Amino acid sequence: MNGLGAFLERQRELRGAWLKALYGVLAALVLLNLFVGPHEPHFGLDAYPGFWALFGLVVGVLMVVIMKRVVQPVIVRREDHYGDI
Amino acid sequence: METSSFIHPAIGFLALAAVLPFLRGKWWNWLLPAPAVLAVFAVFTMTPGDHLTLNWLGQTLLLGRVDKLSLVFAQVFAVMSVAGMLYAMHVKDRGQHIAAALYVSGGFGCVFAGDYLTLFVFWELMSIGSTFLVLLNRTRESVLAGFRYFLYHTAGGLLLLAGLLIRYKALGTWEFTPMAPGSAHLYEWLILAGFCVNAAVVPLHAWLPDAYPRGTVTGSVFMCAYTTKTAVYVLARGFAGWEILAAAGTVMAVYGVLYACIENNARRILSYHIVSQVGYMVAGIGVGTAMTLNGAVAHAYAHILYKGLLFMGTGCLLYAAGTAKLDKLGGLAARLPWVMVLYMVAALSISGMPVFNGFISKTMTITGAAEAHRTLVALGLEIAAVGTFISVGIKLPYFAFWGGKPTDNDRVLAPIPWNMYAGMSVLAVLCILQGVAPSILYAYLPFEVEHPYVPWSVWHVLQSLLLLGFSGLAFYLLRKVITPHEGLNLDVDIAYRAVGTGALRFVCRPLAFLDDRWTEAYRTGGLRGLMGIALGSVWFDRRAIDGVVDGSARTVRGIGGLGARTQNGSLQDYLGLAAFFALCVFGLVWYLG
C-alpha cells in the first residue's frame, strides 16, 4: 500500500471528525448566505438566504426517495430479463 | 483558396487504421498517439476559411469548413484523442485501435464537413467504428448490444439521409447551413430526428445506456466523447434557437439523472449522465441566445474532458477488479487510491464544483437560460445538477471505493498499466486548469456576447457550494436508501426491442414456412430426378471429363473457399467488409476527383 493509500486508510478512523467538519462547513455557508446574495434573483424565491441550501436538500431527498422507493420497484426486472447476458 | 494551412485531422487516423494491420514487432503501440498529436498540431495551425473541395458526380463537396464553431469542437476532439490513445496504448487487440481510429476520423470529418453529403459519409463511418468498439468486447452480451446499436444508428442515419435527399430536391443544394427556427418542412424534421438519435434525445436515447456499458474498457472512453458531441455540434450549427430543443434538453437533463439515481452498473450510471449532460447542451442550443449557445459549446468541451476521465476511472475499476457493478465493489480506496483521486477530479467537474471545469461551463448555460427568462429550463437544469452530484459525485465513488465496507485486501486486482494513469492525468490537469482559469476555454467560444459571463463571482461560488453541500447532506441522510442493487431498470428500449423481435418474427416465420415446404418438395420430387441425372453424369464424367476438368476444379474450389470464408455469417465480418469497400470507393473518388 503506497503513501496515499495508507493516508486514506487512516482517514477511515477519523469519520466522526470529517462529519463534524462537513456540518461546520454547511453551517458556515448558510451563515455567509445571510450577507451574500444574488444581484438578480432568477426565480424570485432565491432572493431569500438559504434558498439554495433548502433546494439542494429537498430536491435530493425527494429524488432519492421517489426513485428508489416508488419508481424502481415498478420498473426493475431480473438482470437477464431480455435474455441477452 | 489557401489549402496549405489546412491539414485534415482525420488523415492521420485514417492512415493509422490503414497501416496498423501490417505492422510487425512489439513497438507499434507507440504509433497510436501520433495521429492524435498531429491532430492537435493541425487544429492549432489551421486558418479559418473553406478548404479541401472535391468534385463528385457533378457535386462540389466541402471537406474543410474551418470557422470558430468547427475549430472549438475539433480542438477538444483532438485533445481528447491524445488522452484516449494514451489510455488505450496497452491494448494488444489491433482491431480495437483500428475501430477507434476510424471512429475518431469520422468525428473530425463531421465537424469540418461543409455539406450534407460529406457529413453523411463521416456520420456513417462513426457509426461503423463505434459499433466495432462495442462488438470487440467479445462477449455475447456485447455482440448483441453492438448489433442493436448498429441497427438503431442505421435507422437514425436513414432518417438523416431521407431528410438531406428531400432537402436537395427542394432547395437544390447540399450545403449545410443553419435552418430558420420554426420553419416546418418535412426534410428539416427528418434531419433533426437523425441528429437527435445521435444526441440521445429522450425518447431516442436508449441505445446509449444499452451499448456504452458493454463496450471495451478503452472503446467506451472514445465513444462517450465523440458521438453525442458531434450531434451537439451539428445541432448547434443547424438548429440553433429551435424551441423544441429547449424543452427536449431540459427533459433529457432531468431524465438522465433520475435513471442514474437507481442504476447499479457504474458505466451505465455514467451513460445516463451523458444523456443528462448532453441535455444541458441541447437546451442551450434550443434557447439559442449567444450566451446559451456559448454555454452549450463550453459545456461540450468541458464535458468531453471530464466524461472521458470518468469512463477512464470506471474503466480502471473494470480492468482491475473485473466488474463495474457497484454492489460487487467497495473497500477499494486504499488499494486504488490514485484511480479514486483522478476519478474524483472528474466527478467534481461534472458536478460543477468550483475549481473544476464543470463550474465554468454548466453555470454559463443555466445563467444564460435564466437571463433569457426561461425559468423552467433553468430550474430543470438546477434539479439535474443536484442529481448529478448525488449519483456521479458521491454515490458512484462511495460505493465503488468505500461502501461502508472494510478495505478489501483479499480481492485480486490486475495491475493498472502506466499509460492508463497517463491518459487520466492529462484530462485531470485540463479539468482543473480550465476551472481555475476559465479564459483558457472561453477564448475559443464562437459567439459574440455583449457582457462576457464571469463565473468566479462570490455569489456563483457560494451558490454552487450551497447547492452541492446540501445535496451531499441529502445523500448522507439517505445512504441506506440509495444503496445500489443488482437488477435491470426498464427503459424505452423495451419498445424498440419489441419492434425488433416483431420484425424478426414477421420475416422469419414466412421464410421458415417456405423453407419447410421447399425442403419437402425437393425431397419428394426434385431429389428423384436429380439422382437420375447424377447417375448419367457420373457415367459421362468417368469416361470423358475427368482428365480435362480436374485442373480447373481445383481453381474453382479455391475461389469458392475464399467466398465461403468471407460469408461466415458473423455480422462483424460483414460490417467490416462493407466498411472496407466503402472506404475503398471513397478513396478512389478522392483520388480520381
**Whether the Cβ atoms of residue B441 and residue B298 lie closer than 8 Å to each other:** yes
Nearest to B407 among A9, A43, A67 (CB): A9
**Cα–chain center distance at B71:** 19
DSSP state of B115: B
Q: Chain A to chain B, count of Cβ pairs less than 8 Å apart?
A: 152
Residue B393 to residue B169: CA distance in whole angstroms: 49
B184 within a domain of the structure (yes/no): yes
Please state the rounded mean pLDDT for residues A63-78. 95
Task: Say what the pTM is.
Answer: 0.88
pLDDT tens by residue, B157-203: 999 999 999 999 999 999 999 988 877 789 999 999 999 999 999 99
What is the predicted pLDDT for the residue at B421?
97
Domain membership flag for residue B440: yes
Distance CA B424, CA B377 (A): 33
If asked whether residues B95 and B43 sit together in one domain, one would say yes
Give the number of domains in chain B. Answer: 3
Mutate to test the interface with A, among B137, B264, B386 (most CBs of A within 10 A): B386
Residues 6+ positions from B174 with CB-CB distance below 8 Å: B59, B61, B115, B116, B117, B164, B168
Tell me, yes or no, whether B199 and B257 share the same domain. no
Q: CB distance B474–A61 less than 8 Å?
A: yes
Residue B330 placed within a domain:
no
**Do B15 and B87 belong together in one domain?**
yes
Does residue B271 share a domain with residue B222?
no
pLDDT value at position B183?
73
User: Which residues of chain B carry a pLDDT beneath 50?
Assistant: 1-2, 593
Residue where one domain finishes, among candidates B436, B466, B489: B489
Asked if residues B144 and B113 have their Cβ atoms less than 8 Å apart, the reply is: no
Question: Minimal Cα–Cα distance from B144 to chain A, Å?
Answer: 7
Residue B71's H or E segment, with its range, is: helix B68-87
**Structure confidence at residue B545 (pLDDT):** 55
| Long-range pairs for B497-501: beta carbons < 8 A, 24 or more residues apart | B497/A82, B497/B148, B500/B148, B500/B151
Whether residues B228 and B348 share a domain: the answer is: no
Contact B270, B392 (CB under 8 A): yes
**What average pLDDT score do residues A13-25 get?**
93
Q: Are residues B132 and B216 in the same domain?
A: yes
How many angstroms separate the CA atoms of B358 and B394, rounded? 16
Q: Is residue B549 part of a domain?
A: no
Of A25-29, A46-50, B104-108, B240-244, the least confident: A46-50
What is the complex's ipTM, to 2 decimals? 0.95
CA distances from B551 to B19, B539, B555, B556, B563 (A): 37, 20, 7, 9, 19
In a domain, B79, yes or no: yes
Interface check for B341 against chain A (CB to CB < 8 A): the answer is yes
By DSSP bridging, strand B49-56 and strand B59-66 are: antiparallel
Both B292 and B433 in one domain: the answer is yes
Same-domain check for residues B75 and B117: yes
Task: State the first-to-last Cα distance of chain A, in angstroms, to the nearest integer.
Answer: 36
Contacts of B490 in chain A (CB under 8 A): 75-77, 81
Residue B556: the pLDDT is 53
What is the rounded CA–CA span in Å between residue B146 and residue B211?
6
pLDDT at B182: 72
Q: Write out the residue range of the structural domain in which residue B506 sits.
A: 492-526
What is the per-residue burial (b if ≥16 Cβ within 10 Å, else e) of B235-251? bbbbbbbbebbbbbbbb
Q: In this structure, is residue B320 part of a structural domain?
A: no
Residue at which a domain ends, from B237, B271, B290:
B237
Rounded Cα–Cα distance for residues B117 and B174 (Å): 7
Asked whether residue B326 is domain-assigned, the answer is: no
Pairing of strands A76-77, B488-489: antiparallel
> Which among B334, B474, B482 has the least Cβ separation from residue A56?
B474
| Distance, CA of B418 to CA of B401 (rounded, Å) | 20
Residue B64 has φ and ψ, to the nearest 5°, of: -135, 70
As a whole-number percent, the residues of chain B with pLDDT over 70 amount to: 90
Does one domain contain both B299 and B220?
Answer: no
Q: Please indicate, yes or no, whether residues B261 and B162 belong to a single structural domain of this protein.
A: no
Task: Judge if B211 and B254 occupy the same domain.
Answer: no
Can you give the pLDDT at residue B551?
52
Of B489, B513, B538, the one marking the end of a domain is: B489
Is residue B541 in some structural domain? no
- Both B246 and B223 in one domain: the answer is no
Q: What is the dihedral of CA B140, B146, B152, B154, to 10 degrees?
A: -130
